[in-house]
Amino acid sequence: MGELRFDGRVAVITGAGHGLGRSHALGFADRGAKVVVNDLDAQAAAAVAARIRTHGGSALAHTADISTEEGAQSLIEKATDTFGRVDVVVNNAGILRDRSFKNISPGEWDEVLAVHLRGSFLVSRAAFGHLREYGYGRIVNTTSPSGLFGNFGQSNYAAAKMGVVGLTKTLAIEGAKYDINVNAIAPIAYTRMTEDLFPADAAAVLSPERVTPLVLWLAHEDCPTTGEVYSVGGGRIARVFVAEGPGVVLERGTVEEVQDNWPDINAERPYVIPRNLAEQTDLHIRGLL
């Protein structure tokens, strides 16, 4: 099979000054994309953009805060003003404010949701009208195993990241008729955000560069997939999905009947994977008949 290229495409990547975002930016540039490198760290963003240009690519740095409406809008405007269009959005920017739930402050909650969930919403919203107009687009959001499965001390981060999954699913539905594919990755990688979670010798195995190939595929025009979530790290990729078990129809509808049927209510197989709310509702209603 031929090399997958992004010649003529414009990719906007948030949090691209370090770690995963930096790897994604360089990956897109190596395959011909024009890249907008967004990061609050102005020096880091400039360095990534300069490296891309030094290697013959096209890139510019953008340092506004994407958790604000003005910052997200200016990011997409900068991309379209400079390169004429936007084809790919990678929502990668993130922060941590870990705290056990009994000690977490509203400020620590709001900060994390602002960057991860609000930022993904604002940047996607700013780009969505352009993508609809072009009749083409790819959005790759970043969720986390913490959001999908939970993690002690990360109620703010987990809530934001599971919110990203819901955003991904809905944008995939709304973008389908415009050839806008929207997917999410749940990366496991050794970065500045996670270096305290892994031993130092995990850095090579869990490098950001082992995550980027999946992002490039999900962002490519040949990829038909939309509305999905993938765990990725160290070269391993797996689909993560929300499923519904067979369930039980209660005859009397009492709490005692719930208790008596609890093992069957919790049965996992045979499961179904609804693609949207309408499909899930239909399956539920048919299960009652």
Q: Examine the domain organization and report whether 102 and 161 are in the same domain.
A: yes
**Partner residues linked to 29 by β-bridges:** none
Model confidence over 211-257: pLDDT tens digits? 999 999 999 999 999 999 999 999 999 999 999 999 999 999 999 99
Residues 66 and 107 in one domain: yes
Distances (CA, A) of 190 to 18, 54, 161, 200, 234: 11, 26, 18, 9, 10
pTM: 0.95
Distance of CA 56 to the CA centre of its chain: 29
- Residue 19 shares a structural domain with residue 147: yes
Shared domain for 24 and 84, answered yes or no, is yes
pLDDT tens digits along 105-139: 999 999 999 999 999 999 999 999 999 999 999 99
Task: Give domain status of residue 68, yes or no.
Answer: yes
- The H or E element spanning position 62 is strand 59-62
* Across 7-16, 193-202, 274-283, least confident range: 193-202
160 and 270 part of one domain: no
Token pair for residue 48?
Answer: 């990534």
**270 and 228 within one domain:** no
Instruction: Show the domain range for 278.
Output: 255-288
> Same domain for 284 and 223?
no
Residue 14 lies in a domain: yes
Would you say residue 96 lies in a domain? yes
Whether residues 58 and 144 share a domain: the answer is yes
* One-letter amino acid for residue 207 of the chain: S
Inside any domain, residue 57: yes
Q: Are residues 55 and 96 in the same domain?
A: yes
Percent of the chain with pLDDT over 70: 96
- Domain shared by 171 and 217, yes or no: yes
Q: What are phi and psi of 104, to 5 degrees?
A: -70, 145
* Sheet strand arrangement including 88-91: 59-62, 34-38, 10-13, 88-91, 137-142, 180-187, 229-233, 236-240
197/92: higher pLDDT:
92
Cα torsion 2, 3, 4, 6 to 10°: value is -120
Number of structural domains in the chain? 2
Q: Is residue 247 part of a domain?
A: no
Based on the fold, state whether residues 58 and 96 are members of the same structural domain.
yes
Catalytic residue among 134, 136, 157, 230: 157
Q: Are residues 180 and 266 in the same domain?
A: no
Residue 75 lies in a domain: yes
CATH of the domain at 181: 3.40.50.720
User: Is residue 269 in a domain?
Assistant: yes
Examine residue 270 and say whether the peptide bond preceding it is cis (omega within 30 degrees of 0): yes
Domain assignment of residue 4, yes or no: no
Q: Are 208 and 215 in contact (CB under 8 A)?
A: no
Verify whether residue 157 is a known catalytic residue. yes
